[in-house]
Chain A
C-alpha cells in the first residue's frame, strides 16, 4: 500500500470515486491486463514497438507514449536531411559529372558519403555508356562492384554493419593495393575478406548496372590516391546543380529530372509485445512482423489504441475458468454482414471460442462446433465501445454481457468452464478483429460486484458513454 492507499480494495460505496488511477489499483487479481495507459499505478512498460525500416525495437511506458517520445523514436534519423537530393529509383534519377575519373587498383583510393537507404537494390556510383561498371547496394549488407574489365563480385560487409532503412549512415568504400576493397559503415569496417577489383571508372552518381538510386546520397568525398587530399567533393544537399558543384575541383555534377528533394518520409511502428500489467507475465506477443498490430502511423499515434485493422493478432497463453472481460475497442464505421469484431479465442484447438462479437449485432460463443448466438447492440459510428462480458457455466451462475453500461439479453448456455486463451484479435474460424483496441482486462473470476466501478474507471478514461 502506498501513501495514497493504493493497493487496498476500496469500499463499494467509494469505488466509483477513484477514477484517476488505473482499475488494477483498486481491483487487482486480473489474469491479464493490456492497455496503453498505466493500469496498476506502477508506470510499467506497456508495449514493445518495432519500427518500420531498420526493425529496431524498444519498450515504452504510458509517459513516453504520451510525451511523443515513441512517435519521435519511430521516425527518428533523417530529419536533418530534409531538402537534400532525393534519388527517386527511376532511370532519370542520377547526377551526371562533367568528366570521368578512375579508381586505380594500384592506389589507396576511397569514396566516402552519407547515405539514407530505401529499398534495395540501389545504384550508387556508375559510368555512362557502360551500365555495368560501378557500385550498387544489392541488399542491406552487400555491395555489388563491377570493374572496367567487367569483373563483378558482391562484397558482403556483414549484418553487424548492415544498412538501416531510412536512417542516415556514413559509408566508405576503400581500396588497399594487393588486398582489395573493403566497406566501412558508421565507423565499423567489415570483418570479412576484401575483394580485389581492377580499375573502376566513374562519372555518375545514383545509378550502376541498371540499379537506380533510392533516397539520399550526400556529402560525397573521393580521394583517388590515399594522400588525404580530396580530389572531388559534392555536398548533395539539394537537387540543383549548385548543390552538386565540385567543392575542390571543377568536375561538377548535374542532377537529372527525377532527382527531387528528400522530405523525411515517415515510418510506421508496430507492437511486438503488449505487456501484461496484471503481474502474471501473460504478455501478448506477435513474433511475425506481417501480423503485428500498428501503433504509429506516419507521424502520429493510431487514434483510439492499437490498430488490428488488417487481420493482425497477438498470441497469448491465459488460463481461465470463469472469466470476466472488460474491453474497449473502436466500433466499425463500415458494417457489412461479413465484418467481424472478434476479441479473444483459443485458436489452437476447436474448444470454446470465448468471446466473439461477429458484426456489431451478434454475440457468439462456441462450445466445440456448436454455438450460442445472441443479438446485441453497440456503437457503429466509429466511436469506442466498452464491453463487459462475464462467462461462466450455468452451474456457476450464468453469464452476462454489458455493452456501454447497458445489459444485453443473452442465453445462459455458456463456456465449458475452463480454457486457455491463445489469441487476441483472430480465431481459428478465420475471423479477425479488424478494429482498433484500446484496452483488455481479463479476470479469472466473477467481477459482477465490481463491474460498475471498473466500467466507471474505464469510461472516465475513454469518455465512451
Chain B
C-alpha cells in the first residue's frame, strides 16, 4: 500500500477530489451532488495528520517521492473479547 500524508483533512480531500475527477466518477459528471466522489478517503493518523491511500492513484514525480508504505492510525478504544 502507498500513502501520502497531509497536514489537514481538507488537503487530503482535495487530492482525493482531484483523483475522483480524473477517474470520471459520477459526482463530478452530474450536477446533482449524487454519486461516487472518491476512490479512497483519508484516515487520521496517530499524530493527527491525514493519510490517503494512493496505491491506485496516478502520481506525479513529487508525489512518487513523498509516498510512504505505512502509517500509524489513531488508537482504537478497547473492544469486547
Contact = CB atoms under 8 A, between A and B. Distances in A.
Interface of A: 48, 50, 54-57, 139-140, 159, 162, 164, 272-273, 287-292, 350, 356, 358, 362, 364, 366, 369, 371, 373, 428-431
A428 B39 CA distance: 21
B80 A55 contact: no
A429 B76 contact: yes
A139 B58 contact: yes
A12 B36 CA distance: 43
A291 B41 CA distance: 9
Given A57-B35, A139-B58, A159-B24, A288 B76 contact: no
A369 B77 CA distance: 7
Given A56-B26, A289-B25, A350-B77, 9 more contacts: A50-B35, A55-B23, A272-B26, A287-B35, A288-B40, A289-B36, A290-B39, A356-B80, A430-B76
A54 B77 contact: no
Contacts of B27: 287
A358 B24 contact: no
Interface string B37-66: 111110000000000010000100000000
Given A139-B58, A272-B36, A292-B36, A50 B77 contact: no
Contacts of B39: 288-290
Given A139-B58, A289-B39, A429 B25 contact: no
Interface of B: 21-27, 34-41, 53, 58, 76-80
A429 B37 contact: no
A333 B40 CA distance: 29
10 contacts: A50-B26, A50-B35, A55-B25, A55-B36, A140-B22, A272-B26, A287-B35, A350-B77, A356-B80, A369-B77
A429 B24 contact: no
A289 B38 contact: yes
A379 B78 CA distance: 27
A428 B76 CA distance: 8
A289 B23 CA distance: 11
Contacts of B35: 48, 50, 57, 272, 287
Given A55-B24, A159-B21, A291-B41, A369 B36 contact: no
A308 B62 CA distance: 35
Contacts of A366: 80
A195 to B, nearest CB: 21
Contacts of A54: 24
A20 B79 CA distance: 41
A162 B36 contact: no
B19 to A, nearest CB: 10
A163 B40 CA distance: 21
Contacts of A356: 80
A431 B81 CA distance: 12
A292 B27 CA distance: 15
